[in-house]
């Protein structure tokens, strides 16, 4: 069966391609290679079942050409700007790469009669809700980042397109996802800083920002387990799940794990102060994953484990 992974050369997308190839699908990977890299999928490019198409999914002609050629039966949509901090100063990136990609993918599915989509959404759709256990039934979603807004807008599009065109959609709201091939974020930044100067580490905020981190392979297993790729009979509509892990890890705890794994003992932490690390960041949240656990999925690694594994994979120990 032909499947299309949009954003398939990115951090999460490339791990999903690995899994889909292993399971025997013919995988078309569309990526604009702005955040995704050929290095992420280099090991797949010599396989006949894998095809990379460089292209921009927000461009109608380019996505149309991909649909016409790949004739996918299932679309995995992971194309987005994933660097929230960067888009704070240029919202156009989210308008084009996060929202418009979703719109044009859905329009292409509508034109080609493709009925099934997986969509990578985010905990950022909730906004900053202090002392609320975030579940799929939490009301008043009020994103505080352009990224969260574009993802919530995308979810709204999926709701309408699904209804109007008898499609079925699986939507996961990811928390922070980490693992090999990570391209940005706090772990990535800390390693970069410590490699430049291992005597001190600047930490944005008060270091108490605490979030659940999921290991990318756990996440891919969740996608594989719930996407029912081979099933032909499915109800139309949207199935939406929070995907998460046990526990959460503070920024200071991340620094501690990192120093330990890098064998650094006397790193001086320098806090910039304040609550959040940067505007649009949600400093702490807890996530209900009861609904997806009821489907039989659970992650292998907790949040601290995920951080440690990721650190090891990046520093190469």
DSSP of 66-115, one letter per residue? HHHHH--SEEEE--S---HHHHTT-THHIIIIIIIHHHHHHHHHHHHT--
Q: How many CA atoms lie within 13 A of 63 on its CB side?
A: 25
Provide, rounded to whole angstroms, the least separation between the CB of residue 159 and a second copy: 4
268-271 and 213-215 beta bridge pairing: unpaired
> Which C-beta is closer to a second copy: that of 40 or that of 100?
100
Q: What is the distance between the alpha carbons of residues 150 and 181, in angstroms, rounded to a whole number?
A: 24
> Which C-beta is closer to a second copy: that of 37 or that of 168?
168
Provide, rounded to whole angstroms, the least separation between the CB of residue 111 and a second copy: 11
Provide, rounded to whole angstroms, the least separation between the CB of residue 192 and a second copy: 26
> Which C-beta is closer to a second copy: that of 92 or that of 295?
92
Q: How many CA atoms lie within 13 A of 247 on its CB side?
A: 13
> Which C-beta is closer to a second copy: that of 265 or that of 294?
294
109 neighbors 167 (Cβ within 8 angstroms)? yes
Provide, rounded to whole angstroms, the least separation between the CB of residue 140 and a second copy: 6
Positions in the binding site for a second copy (CB under 8 A): 88, 91-92, 95, 99, 103, 107, 110, 125, 127, 136-146, 148-150, 152-154, 156-157, 159-161, 163-164, 238, 279-280
> Which C-beta is closer to a second copy: that of 51 or that of 94?
94
**Which of 175, 179, 183 minimizes the C-alpha distance to 212?**
175
Q: What is the distance between the alpha carbons of residues 9 and 120, in angstroms, rounded to a whole number?
A: 14
Provide, rounded to whole angstroms, the least separation between the CB of residue 106 and a second copy: 8
Residue 266 DSSP label:
-
Provide, rounded to whole angstroms, the least separation between the CB of residue 206 and a second copy: 20
> Which C-beta is closer to a second copy: that of 99 or that of 190?
99
């Amino acid at each position: 069966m032909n499947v299309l992974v949009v954003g398939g050369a990115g951090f999460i997308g490339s791990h999903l391609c690995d899994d889909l190839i292993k399971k025997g699908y013919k995988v078309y990977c569309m990526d604009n290679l702005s955040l995704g890299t050929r290095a992420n999928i280099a090991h797949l490019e010599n396989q006949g079942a894998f095809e990379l198409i460089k292209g921009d999914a927000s461009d109608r002609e380019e996505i149309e050409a991909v649909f016409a050629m790949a004739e996918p039966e299932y679309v995995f949509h992971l194309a987005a700007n994933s660097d929230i901090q960067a888009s704070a100063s240029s919202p156009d990136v989210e308008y084009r790469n996060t929202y418009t990609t979703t719109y044009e993918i859905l329009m292409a599915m509508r034109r080609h009669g493709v009925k099934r989509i997986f969509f990578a959404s985010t905990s950022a759709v909730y906004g900053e809700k202090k002392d609320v256990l975030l579940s799929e039934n939490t009301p008043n979603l009020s994103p505080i980042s352009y990224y969260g807004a574009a993802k919530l807008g995308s979810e709204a599009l999926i709701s309408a397109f699904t209804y109007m065109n008898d499609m079925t959609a699986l939507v996961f709201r990811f928390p922070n996802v980490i693992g090999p091939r990570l391209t940005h974020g706090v772990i990535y930044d800390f390693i970069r800083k410590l490699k430049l100067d291992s005597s001190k580490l600047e930490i944005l905020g008060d270091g108490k920002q605490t979030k659940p981190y999921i290991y990318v392979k756990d996440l891919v297993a969740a996608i594989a387990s719930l996407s029912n790729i081979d099933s032909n009979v499915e109800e139309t509509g949207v199935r939406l799940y929070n995907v998460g892990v046990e526990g959460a890890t503070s920024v200071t705890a991340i620094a501690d794990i990192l120093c330990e794994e890098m064998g650094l003992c006397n790193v001086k932490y320098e806090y910039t102060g304040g609550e959040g690390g940067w505007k649009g960041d949600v400093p702490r949240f807890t996530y209900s994953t009861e609904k997806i656990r009821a489907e039989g999925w659970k992650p292998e690694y907790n949040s601290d484990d995920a951080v440690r594994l990721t650190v090891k994979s990046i520093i190469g120990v």
